[in-house]
Chain A
Amino acid sequence: DAGVIQSPRHEVTEMGQEVTLRCKPISGHNSLFWYRQTMMRGLELLIYFNNNVPIDDSGMPEDRFSAKMPNASFSTLKIQPSEPRDSAVYFCASRSTPLAGAGEQFFGPGTRLTVL
């Protein structure tokens, strides 16, 4: 199993540009999560999907952020326009339906975003 795949691994862009981060979850997993990690705020959940449907987007910072999951094997997180304060590592994680509790989440390697 290839695990959760994220692309790109690194992204450097200028303020005002559109940024699209991509995620391929583990095959057979039906939940997908987008997280953001910074030194100041730690690891924050942005949004999560169950069976391709957004369940909770309360962590999305503002309207500049949007996420989609058009099918079970692909999701995107878009920032438009980007700002320097969006610089962070963005992780995607996936999970299958747990038998108990919240269930193990499998994280991708992350995308390190730098907005100049």
Chain B
Amino acid sequence: GQQVMQIPQYQHVQEGEDFTTYCNSSTTLSNIQWYKQRPGGHPVFLIQLVKSGEVKKQKRLTFQFGEAKKNSSLHITATQTTDVGTYFCAGTGGSNFGNEKLTFGTGTRLTIIP
């Protein structure tokens, strides 16, 4: 079955430093999503990428979808304490009809040192 791995598993950064998490799938994805889960909270949708090579930005967050649609990355510029949490990628394979189930990555837990 489809497997989605993320690295690193944990990341500790000083406030103001940049942060990047990488997501790799064992199979080609039709699209990929990113979610953020605060400690003790629930996953919250951040973005969806559909096209090969797509890049999207949300303020300090930059999301990329690889050309082969098997990997993705999330980069945060100048981290803030509000960025603390676990970041998950989630991919779907096969057709693009919206009925596909998401396979979540293993997550990267980000902690910020003030």
Binding site for B on A (CB under 8 A): 33, 42-45, 48, 50, 55-56, 91, 93, 97-98, 100-110
Contact = CB atoms under 8 A, between A and B. Distances in A.
B101 to A, nearest CB: 5
Contacts, number: 63
Contacts of B92: 101-102
Interface string B83-105: 00000101010001011111111
Contacts of B105: 42
A55 B96 contact: no
B20 interface: no
B97 to A, nearest CB: 9
A45 B2 CA distance: 12
B105 to A, nearest CB: 8
Contacts of A110: 42
B45 A102 contact: no
A104 B104 CA distance: 13
A33 B90 CA distance: 14
Residues of A contacting B: mostly: strand
A104 B45 contact: yes
B106 A42 contact: yes
B31 interface: yes
B96 A91 contact: no
Contact of A109 (B42, B98, B104): B42
